[in-house]
Amino acid sequence: MNEEKIKILKSFDLFSDLTEEELKTIADYIQKKEFLAKTIFISQDEEVPDVVYFIYKGLARAYRTTEEGQEVNLSIIGEGEVIGEMGVIEELPRSATVEAMQNTIAYVLTGKNFVDLLKKHPQVSITLLKSLSKRLRKLTGRMEDIMSKNIEERTLGALRILSRFFPKKEILLSHEELATIVGATRARVTEVLDALRKTGKIKLQHRKIRLL
């Protein structure tokens, strides 16, 4: 069983510099979790964040809910990414909600084991800092999109990001799910998708959007 876990750990950039023996130690502590689509596994403002998730298979989204009840999408989280580490490091409540968009497999470490890992292996800390910096740049770009781009540009941009996580660039999401990501109504996103189809930028099928 640990051999399988070691192979999985090697697929994450965060652990790429660790030796076989070091990976074996982590494999003793890491646990597999499976989440069905639409399952929330991190909740905004959760008081005691004590788990870090390593996404092995599937897709999730992170979002915040405003005081008015509006969801603001922050990022798409795909295979090979880490989520939940900020709350553990800061020892503060969760900053966002994370929901599985597809059936998702994650491996988890307790907060204590994760912090111990960072203390023992500085190279992992450096890789994590690079990952956090990259995520911040993406979030900044996302906020700029919301402020400056029209809905057609935002939708096409979201589709390009999503296409990285689907084989053959065929995005298996409903219009409603895409609308949640873009930050618009389902009806408006359906109109935009139809316009993109007519201009030859995408192909539409039932619950499938393909970039051309």
Domain segments of the chain as ranges: 2-146, 150-211
Question: Which residue carries 């111990």 as its tokens?
Answer: 116
Q: DSSP labels for 113-172?
A: HHHHHHHH-HHHHHHHHHHHHHHHHHHHHHHHHHHHS-HHHHHHHHHHHHHTTSGGGEE-
Q: Which of 73, 28, 75, 31 is nearest to 50 (CA)?
A: 31
8 Å CB contact between 124 and 109: no
Distance CA 112, CA 117 (A): 9
Question: Which residue carries 């999109």 as its tokens?
Answer: 145
Which CATH number fits the domain 150-211, given the four candidates 3.40.190.10, 3.30.360.10, 3.40.50.10470, 1.10.10.10?
1.10.10.10
Predicted confidence (pLDDT) per residue in 3-55, tens digit: 889 899 888 888 888 888 888 888 988 999 999 999 999 999 887 668 999 99
CATH 2.60.120.10 fits domain 2-146: yes
Q: For the chain, list residues with pLDDT below 50.
A: none
Predicted confidence (pLDDT) per residue in 48-59, tens digit: 668 999 999 999
Distance CA 42, CA 22 (A): 28
Distance CA 44, CA 65 (A): 8
